[in-house]
Amino acid sequence: MRQQYYSSSIRSMAADGAEKLSISMPLKLARAARKHAGRRGLSSFIARAVARELEREALGQFLDELDAALGPVPSEELDRVRRAWPKR
């Protein structure tokens, strides 16, 4: 069974309590994260980032399941969508 994670569910996750973690990351990344998080706090910023990553992975798995069940999206359809939504 696939678990779903949604970044909007951070508040409900907070109701479950918190676990203190110790993580390591490259120095420049840590400094950038602290600067970006600002007054919101680093823990909240990292929790939202992890939730978003879990959501992206769950979406990727779902898309893989759709491809397996329905086949890949036809190239003509992909071309049509790319023309309608060009890269910025």
pLDDT attached to residue 1? 42
Confidence (pTM): 0.69
pLDDT of the residue at 37? 94
The reply to whether 52 falls in a domain is: yes
CA–CA separation, 6 and 62 (whole Å)? 14
Give tens-digit pLDDT for 4-55: 545 555 556 666 788 999 999 999 999 999 999 998 899 999 999 999 999 9
Which pLDDT does position 40 carry in this prediction? 85
Name the domain count of the chain: 1
Domain boundaries, position 37: 7-14+25-84
In a domain, 79, yes or no: yes
The answer to whether 52 and 8 have CB atoms below 8 angstroms apart is no
